[in-house]
Structure 1
Amino acid sequence: MRMKLAGLAVLVSSLSASLVAAPAAEAAAKPTLRYGAKGKYVKYVQERLRALHYAPGKADGKYGTDLRFAVLAFQKVNGLAPNGTVGRRTWAALARPKAPARIVSGGAANRVEISKKRQLVVVYKGGRVQLITHTSTGSGKRYCHQGRCEVARTPSGNFRVHRKINGWRHAPLGDLYKPVYFYRGYALHGSPSVPLYPASHGCARLPMRHTADLLFRIVPIGTAVYVR
């Protein structure tokens, strides 16, 4: 009896090791994908990220800007260095993806979470993730405009969407594409520049145009916005 149990334990251990090793082995067999790549593997990544509620754009097998931003967001959610390259570790994470960490507990079912620490925006509908995207929030640097100097900070707190503009808004501090305002003049908005570090005057910048279009469409006025 003991011999049978011992044999069973060895079998279970062997199977567990095989299951853990499988994604790594599969990942090693796939090509490394970078911006500009083309083909079936790129299309697979586009379809996979779309299914996981990122915004990789059209599944056309071309590694462009939309896919790069989606990969950056995915890598951050999965604890990987965001470099936009789909290598062995990113392939393995695509096989066993993590859910984004929530920044609030007990929040509204329909909400937007802006994480300044992770530089991520997550949109929830009915408590379910609808969109995960990279963002760039307030730089924390001092700036001056028309004789008034301030520090570029994205305010933390609990807010609600109170205004939306379907198009460009040419504001004193820059152009905002489809801004979704959540506190005074602070908004989530599309921008041609969304670096990997906090760089804005205080708004939460979003990738152009697919991501900004999608967020504008799925976030109505009145939606709760949590910034931490």
Structure 2
Amino acid sequence: MTRRVLLTGSGAAPVAEILSHRAKRASGGDRPTLYRGQSGATVKTAQARLNALGYWVGTPDGVFGHVTQQAVWALQKANRVSRTGRITDTEWWLLDHGRRPTPRATSGTLIEVDLQRQILMVVSGGKLYRTLNTSTGSGERYYSGGSWKTARTPTGSYSIYWRWSNGWQTGSLGSMWRPTYWRGDFAIHGSQSIPPYPASHGCCRVSTAAQDMLWAGGWVALNRRVVLY
């Protein structure tokens, strides 16, 4: 069965080129499909390539775990292909051809969140530095503070105004890892659940490891601009 690849929108992967690439490799030397739970040299090769393109996996260790799956989802979302969390012919093609998203900012250091593609981009000096999987507002109704609300992530340009540095912050809607607030109760924060689709109450979820990386690099410093669209 031919795997379907989405062709609509900016950054879509060209299906004809992927299928041609697949056919050329089919005669021998195919790299295997990789998925969570696997380990080995080929996984480490994929991790190194993901890192080189800014899809952060930490230090490549040859183990396809949670953080690597997050990076694969970010790769798939950025290029508008099926969000399987696996590395197949399509993902190998994207890695081989250096496919990365293009941030809107052409100058400055900031964080951009593409709500349609569900990716968070770290921009440094107008250039893309990191691309992370994120999960934002689900659009579902929920009850909080005595009233019903809709889980939406606002668009616009904001600045980080307050941060919680000491691990988990627990509130009425759950726990957030080292949240950095950019508007009211909206924050970028680490979570133990970052699916490849919108699932939050409105915050931007990333993995706890990714949030630690953002803190360590100063990317979520006070007054850091956060642009969502």
For Structure 1 versus Structure 2, the TM-score category normalised by the shorter chain is 0.7 to 0.9
Identity of aligned residues (%): 35
- Give 1 or 2: higher helix fraction: 1
How many pairs align? 206
Deviations, residues 121-164 of structure 1 (Å, cap 9, x unaligned): 00111112221101110111111124221111111111011112
The aligned counterpart of 2:118 is 119
The aligned counterpart of 1:75 is 76
2:171 is the alignment partner of 1:151: no
**1: distance between equivalents of 2:25 and 2:194?**
32
**2: distance between equivalents of 1:94 and 1:148?**
46
> Shift of the alpha carbon at 1:23?
7.8
> Shift of the alpha carbon at 1:58?
2.8
Give the gaps of 5 or more residues in structure 1. Answer: 1-19
TM-score (norm 2): 0.83
Q: 1:53 to 1:145 in 2, by over 3 A?
A: same
**1: distance between equivalents of 2:30 and 2:226?**
42
> Shift of the alpha carbon at 1:38?
1.2
The aligned counterpart of 2:171 is 171
The aligned counterpart of 1:132 is 131
Letter of the 1:148 counterpart: S
Instruction: Answer yes or no: is the 8 Å Cα contact 2:102–2:128 preserved in 1.
Output: no
Q: 1:216 to 1:24 in 2, by over 3 A?
A: farther
Q: 1:22 to 1:88 in 2, by over 3 A?
A: closer
The aligned counterpart of 1:161 is 160
**1: distance between equivalents of 2:216 and 2:180?**
10
**1: distance between equivalents of 2:118 and 2:60?**
25
Runs of 4+ in 1 over 3 A off after TM superposition: 20-28
Give the gaps of 5 or more residues in structure 2. Answer: 1-18
Correspondence 1:12-23 to 2 at 5 A: none
The aligned counterpart of 1:191 is 191
TM-score (norm 1): 0.84
Q: 1:24 to 1:221 in 2, by over 3 A?
A: farther
The aligned counterpart of 2:39 is 38
> Shift of the alpha carbon at 1:99?
2.4
Instruction: Answer yes or no: is the 8 Å Cα contact 2:75–2:100 preserved in 1.
Output: no
Q: Secondary structure at the match of 2:38?
A: coil
Q: 1:70 to 1:112 in 2, by over 3 A?
A: same
Please say which structure displays the higher CA radius of gyration: 1
> Shift of the alpha carbon at 1:24?
6.1
**1: distance between equivalents of 2:77 and 2:184?**
29
Instruction: Quote the RMSD (CA, aligned, Å).
Output: 1.9
Q: Secondary structure at the match of 1:158?
A: strand
Instruction: Answer yes or no: is the 8 Å Cα contact 1:178–1:190 preserved in 2.
Output: yes
